[in-house]
Amino acid sequence: MAGQHARRMYPPPARTITNKLINGPWDMTAADHGNSADLYVSNLLNGTVAADGATVNHGTVVRIELVQHRVNPSGVQVARLWGR
């Protein structure tokens, strides 16, 4: 359909993490530590609309620490979130 930009994800995400520090996410990488993991999310899209077509030369990185849920071992929870 013309004008639609929604993408279907397979498999669908189990959970979406939202926070005011995650603003214009572009990419993500992870470091697996067994019972915990660190996610690094780069924010680049947050300045593109305000730039009105000009090049955006800065971005931010947010670190999200995930830990295995104590009650439900198959689940995870956000332990800490760092960023600017």
pLDDT tens-digit series, residues 10-64: 677 677 888 888 877 778 899 999 888 899 988 877 666 667 777 777 778 889 8
Q: Is the CB of residue 83 less than 8 Å from the CB of residue 65?
A: no
Q: The tokens of 75 are what?
A: 């689940």
47 φ, ψ (degrees, to nearest 5): -110, 0
Q: How far is 38 from 67, CA to CA, in rounded Å? A: 9
Please, are residues 61 and 46 in contact by the beta-carbon 8 Å criterion? no
For the chain, domain boundaries = 1-84
Q: Is the pTM of this model over 0.95?
A: no
Contacts of 38 (CB under 8 A, 6+ apart): 30, 31, 63, 64, 65, 66
- How far, in Å, CA of 46 to CA of 62, rounded? 13
